[in-house]
Chain A
Amino acid sequence: MTAVPAQDEKPIPETAHLRRARRPRLPSWVGLALPPLLISLGILAAWQIIVDHFELRAQILPSPIRIVTAGWSQADIIWGHALATLQVTAVGFTAALVVAWIIAVAVDFSPWLRRGIMPLLVASQTIPVIAIAPLMIIWFGFGLLPKVIVVALVTFFPVTVGLIEGFAKTDREAGALLSSMGAGRWKLFRYARLPSALPSFFTALRISIVYAVTGAIFSEYVGAKSGLGIYMSMQKNAFRTDLVLAAVAVTAVVSITLYLSTFLVERLVIPWASKERRARRGH
C-alpha cells in the first residue's frame, strides 16, 4: 500500500557521471590554464623580438629576458619586499573582512541602520585614495597602520555590498517556512540568510582580494620602509626599468595566486555551491 512509484527517480549525478566517463578528457585545469599561458607566451615572444630588433634601451623598455635575469639577480631582495607587501595585504584584508561582516550583519538585522549606513558606505568610496594615502603617513607614520587602513578602505566596500546583496537573495518564502517552524530573526539568519549569502560573499572576495594587493602596493609607493611599492619607486628613481617591471611581474603572480586561492577556500567552505552549479549545467 505504501509502495512508492520508482519511475521518476533518476538522480542527475549518475547520468552526468556516465556522460563524462564516455569521452576521456584532459583535467579541466589544463583546459583552463593553457589558452592564457599560450597567449602570454606569444606576447612575451613578440616583445622580446621587437626589443632585440629595434635595439631599444633597457631604460625605456627592457626585454622580458633582461627583466627575468635582472629580477633573478635581486631575487632575495625582491622576495623580502614581497613578504612585506603580503603582510600589509593580509592584515588589511582581514581588517576589511571583519568590518564588512560587522556592517553587513548589522544592516541585515536593522532596516534603520541600513538606511543610515548605506549612503555613508557609498560616500566612503568617493574618497580619492591618492589624496588620503599621503595624509595617512602624516598621521600614522611609516609603519603598518596607514597601509592597513588604505587596503581596508579600498576592499571593505565590495565585500560589504556582496554580503548585503547575498543576504537579500534569500528566498522570501524561506522566511515564512522558518517562521512557521518557530524560528525568530536570529534563526532565520542562521539557517537561511547566512548560507544563502555565501556564494555572493565569495564572488566579492575574489574581486576585492586583487584590489587589496594593488592597494597595498599603492600605499607603499607613497612611503614605506619595505614592500614592493617602495621597491618599485626606488628602482624607478634609479632608472632601473627592468627591476620595476620585475617587481610588477612578482605582483601579478602574487595577485593571481591569491585570486585562485579564493576558489580553493570556496570549495572547502561551501562545497555544495560548485556541485549545484555543475548539476545545473548537467541538465
Chain B
Amino acid sequence: MAIEAKTPKIEIVDVHKQFAVPGGERQVVDGVSFEVNRGEFVAVIGPSGCGKSTLFNIMAGLEEPTSGELKVDGADAIGVRENVAYMPQKDLLFPWRTIAENCALGLEVQGVWKLEARKRARDLFATFGLSGFEDSHPFELSGGMRQRAALLRTVVQGRDILLLDEPFGALDSLTRIEMQNWLQGVWAKHEWTAVMITHDIREAIYLADRVIVLSARPTSVRLNVEIDLPRPRELSVITSPEFAAIEEQLIETLHEESRKALELQGTLL
C-alpha cells in the first residue's frame, strides 16, 4: 500500500559475513550490495565456494550477516523467513511422501490444513508437467521431473520471492536445456520475483533480466549486467550477436575469478 513502486523488492547493502573456523575467522561475504526489482529474475554466478549459498541463506533469513543491511519492500528483513521460498541445490523430496504430499510440504508446515495444501499443490501439477504423478513417490520420477516438483513445492508457498540455488545443476545438459526452456515459458505467465544461483553462464543470460557476477571468496559483486534481450526468448537467442557479446564479457570476468578461487584453494583456510 504505502510501498512506492520505485522501492526495490530486495535491497542488499554492504553485507559482510564471516564464520568462526578452527584457527580464526573465515571471511566469506565481503561487502555485497545489489537490488532486485519487483517481478525481476536475477541470476547470480560466481566461482564455486565463493559464498553464493551463504548469501542465499542470509536472504532466506536462515543466517544473519555479520554486518550490512537486508531489506524487503523497504523493511528490515534480517532473520525474517516469511518473505522467501527457497529451493535448495538438492531436490530434497522426501521418499516417504508422495509427490503431491512433497509439494504441499511448505503449506503444511505453515499450518494450512493437509487436504487444502495438497489440493493447492495439485492445481499446479499440469503447469509443471507433472500430471498423473501426484501419487507417485520421488524415486519413481526422472531427475527433470523431480526438479520440477521441487520448484512446484517452492512456488506453491505463495511467497513474494523465490530463491533458487542451482535448480538445474544436477541435470544432464539436454534435460537442462528443456527445463530452461520450460521455466522461461512458465515465467512469462507469472509475476514472480526470483534470484537464481547458477554456474552456467548461458543459463543465466537466457533466463535472467539481470546477471550478477560474484568474485572469488571473500566475495563481492564484480559485475551487474542488465540483459536486454527481448522476451519471450526463443532457444535460438543463444546464437545472436547480442547474446554472444554479453556471454564474452561474463566469461572473462568469471574465469578470472575462478582462477583466483583455485589459487585460494591452494592456500587453504
Contacts and interface: CB of A to CB of B under 8 A. Distances in A.
A275 B185 CA distance: 35
Contacts of A137: none
Contact of B86 (A8, A171, A180): A180
Contacts of A4: 128-129, 182
Contact of B90 (A171, A275, A279): A171
A46 interface: no
A181 B182 contact: no
Interface residues of A, number: 36
Q: Which of A2, A179, A180, A182 has the most CB of B within 10 A?
A: A180
B27 interface: no
B68 interface: no
B62 A180 contact: yes
B96 A270 contact: yes
A101 to B, nearest CB: 18
Contacts of B127: 2
A4 B141 CA distance: 15
Contacts of A191: 94, 105, 108-109
A165 B119 CA distance: 35
B232 A275 contact: no
Contacts of A252: none
Nearest to B85: A180
Interface string B71-95: 0000000000110111011101011
Interface stretch (B30-38, B131-139, B249-257): B131-139
Interface in B154-210: 157, 174-175, 178-179, 181-182, 185-186, 188-189
B145 interface: yes
Nearest to A10: B142
A187 B182 contact: no
A199 B129 CA distance: 32
A177 B127 CA distance: 23
A9 B90 CA distance: 19
B39 interface: no
B144 interface: yes
A5 interface: yes
A61 interface: no
A184 to B, nearest CB: 9
A151 B105 CA distance: 40
Nearest to B142: A8
B232 A179 contact: no
Nearest to B175: A8
Interface string A169-201: 001011011111111000100011001001000
B62 A5 contact: no
B143 interface: yes
B47 interface: no
A5 B174 CA distance: 10
B57 A9 contact: no
A9 B142 contact: yes
Contacts of A183: 109
B8 interface: no
A1 interface: yes
Given A3-B185, A171-B90, A181-B106, 9 more contacts: A2-B189, A3-B182, A5-B129, A5-B175, A8-B174, A11-B142, A180-B62, A181-B110, A272-B137
27 contacts: A1-B189, A2-B189, A5-B144, A5-B175, A5-B178, A7-B178, A9-B129, A9-B142, A12-B139, A13-B140, A174-B94, A176-B57, A177-B86, A177-B92, A179-B62, A180-B60, A181-B109, A181-B157, A182-B81, A182-B109, A182-B110, A183-B109, A191-B109, A192-B94, A195-B94, A273-B96, A279-B139
Pairs A-B, 3 closest by C-beta atoms: A4-B129, A5-B178, A180-B86
Interface of B: 57, 60-62, 81-82, 84-86, 88-90, 92, 94-96, 105-106, 108-110, 127-129, 133, 136-137, 139-145, 157, 174-175, 178-179, 181-182, 185-186, 188-189, 232
Interface of A: 1-13, 171, 173-174, 176-183, 187, 191-192, 195, 198, 270, 272-273, 275-276, 279-280
